[in-house]
A and B are shown apart, each in its own frame.
Chain A
Amino acid sequence: DTTVKQNPRYKLARVGKPVNLICSQTMNHDTMYWYQKKPNQAPKLLLFYYDKILNREADTFEKFQSSRPNNSFCSLYIGSAGLEYSAMYLCASSRPGLGAETLYFGSGTRLTVL
């Protein structure tokens, strides 16, 4: 079963309020990723966890946080949502092994900030 699950499917948030998105996988993948996808833009990598090590992209370093309490779960946290955070958020995972190349994506969470 190559399934990555994301909850919720749709999320509405108010400007200035925190947002927490959840992702899970049961494939024992060691790496989990969060991508942001806006209309007419390429999916943009925000951060990834390799095992327990968090790596955040330099240009979004202060905007997003994440936690990975165990191998199966990974969250994406926005401390204070702004209108520019409205987007589809895609979680993905990859199998064990350095440089593992195939990403398995969830169906995404569509975040709308009002």
Chain B
Amino acid sequence: QQQVRQSPQSLTVWEGETAILNCSYENSAFDYFPWYQQFPGEGPALLIAIRSVSDKKEDGRFTIFFNKREKKLSLHITDSQPGDSATYFCAAKYSGGSNYKLTFGKGTLLTVTP
């Protein structure tokens, strides 16, 4: 059972466009949602994260929109650059108690064409 789903599997945008990556989850207990960015040959690295008490989180060109009722979130990358080409993983966890488990989606491969 896949608890975190991402779409599309791959996405190609032109330089300067806005890329929209989607994520949905099943477990209502999840309350922390990080996005990890992975370049070829490297490990994933935290890009931006949001908690379920918020509906939006911005960091420069990267914005997370969160809809708790629908259990959906999306990552918007404005003014996309070729250097943003990477795989983006949506993840989720329940931050209460001593829960250490981060559940990942399959990832979205983003290609930004110059």
Contact = CB atoms under 8 A, between A and B. Distances in A.
Given A45-B101, A99-B100, A101-B49, A40 B106 contact: yes
A89 B54 CA distance: 33
B100 A50 contact: yes
A43 interface: yes
B93 A101 contact: yes
Interface in B2-40: 2, 4, 9, 32, 34, 36
A93 to B, nearest CB: 11
Contact of B46 (A42, A90, A98, A102): A102
Interface residues of B, number: 28
B101 A90 contact: no
Given A42-B106, A42-B107, A107 B98 contact: no
Contacts of B32: 101
Q: Is the interface of B mostly helix, strand, loop or mixed?
A: loop
Nearest to A98: B98
Given A99-B95, A101-B93, A108 B43 contact: yes
Given A41-B106, A101-B32, A101-B34, A31 B100 contact: yes
Interface in B33-63: 34, 36, 41-46, 49
Interface residues of A, number: 26
Nearest to A57: B101
A48 interface: yes
Interface string A83-97: 000000010101000
A99 to B, nearest CB: 5
Contacts of B105: 42
B66 to A, nearest CB: 16
A103 B106 contact: no
A34 interface: no
Interface of B: 2, 4, 9, 32, 34, 36, 41-46, 49, 89, 93, 95-107
11 contacts: A4-B43, A31-B100, A40-B9, A41-B106, A42-B103, A42-B106, A43-B44, A44-B104, A99-B97, A101-B34, A101-B49
